[in-house]
């Protein structure tokens, strides 16, 4: 596919999305749409170490409805102060945890939903997603993938799929 020439000056993430829309054209697949949404959400993260986004999407008879979303960040109203112990940030809530919490606040069950996450979930997020009833996790990038997380998800019959990163030749 030949890139489309545009005159858009890129000054924000919205400009970049608009350019990408013009450049690639066509209608995105559901996987592309929801993963792009998770990537955009990740830009809200104040974390200096890693930006992660998560989108919870319905499955079953009424699929592809956005149920909840989250990104990694500090507790609501808390000061943005990093607290690291044993090489791990302790002050932030992970994207998956924030998305599950948002669904709970709204009273939206996650049973059978698909979680689109920008990065492979950590052990704790894997447990939370499985306990919340998530049926499938689709992620974009590997990040310290722990074999225990994979085992726990397999034990809970949660399907895990890495979505391909598209490259343009």
List the CATH number of the domain containing 44. 3.40.140.10
25 is a domain residue = no
Sheet holding 66-71, edge to edge: 66-71, 53-57, 114-119, 136-141, 159-162
Question: pLDDT (tens digit, 9 = 90+) per residue, 91-114?
Answer: 999 999 999 999 999 999 999 999
4 is a domain residue = no
d(CA 6, CA 34): 25
Kindly report each contact of residues 24-31 with a partner whose C-beta sits within 8 Å and lies 24 or more positions away, as own/partner. 25/1, 30/57, 30/63, 30/64, 31/116, 31/138, 31/163
129 is a domain residue = yes
1 is a domain residue = no
Give the pLDDT of residue 128.
Answer: 98
17 is a domain residue = no
Which residues does residue 55 pair with via DSSP β-bridges, in sequence order?
Answer: 69, 116
Residue with more model confidence, 138 or 80:
138
Question: pLDDT (tens digit, 9 = 90+) per residue, 69-95?
Answer: 999 999 999 999 989 898 888 899 999
Indicate the number of domains in the chain.
Answer: 1
Give the pLDDT of residue 144.
Answer: 84
138 is a domain residue = yes
* CB-based burial, 20-47: b 16+ in 10 Å, e otherwise: eeeeeeeeeeebeebbbbbbbbbeebeb
| Banded pLDDT at 19 (limits 50, 70, 90) | confident
Give the pLDDT of residue 169.
Answer: 35
| Banded pLDDT at 6 (limits 50, 70, 90) | low
Is 133 in a helix, a strand, or coil?
coil
78 is a domain residue = yes
Query: If you ran DSSP here, which 8-state letter would residue 94 be given?
Result: P
53 is a domain residue = yes
16 pLDDT exceeds 50? Answer: yes
Domain extent for 44:
30-162
Q: Of all helices (H) and strands (E), which one includes residue 77?
A: none
């Amino acid at each position: 596919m030949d890139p489309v020439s545009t005159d858009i000056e890129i000054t924000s993430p919205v400009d970049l999305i608009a350019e990408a829309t013009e450049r690639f054209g066509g209608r995105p697949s559901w996987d592309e749409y929801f993963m792009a949404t998770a990537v955009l959400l990740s830009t809200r993260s104040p974390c200096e170490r890693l930006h992660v986004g998560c989108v919870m999407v319905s499955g079953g008879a009424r699929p592809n409805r956005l149920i909840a979303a989250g990104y990694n960040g500090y507790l609501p109203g808390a000061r943005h102060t990093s607290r690291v112990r044993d090489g791990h940030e302790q002050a932030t809530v992970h994207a998956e945890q924030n998305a599950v919490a948002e669904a709970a606040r709204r009273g939206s069950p996650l049973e059978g939903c698909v979680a689109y996450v920008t990065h492979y979930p950590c052990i704790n997020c894997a447990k939370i997603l499985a306990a919340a009833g998530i049926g499938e996790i689709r992620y974009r990038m590997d990040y310290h993938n722990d074999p225990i997380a994979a085992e726990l998800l397999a034990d809970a019959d949660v399907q895990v799929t890495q979505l391909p990163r598209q490259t343009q030749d």
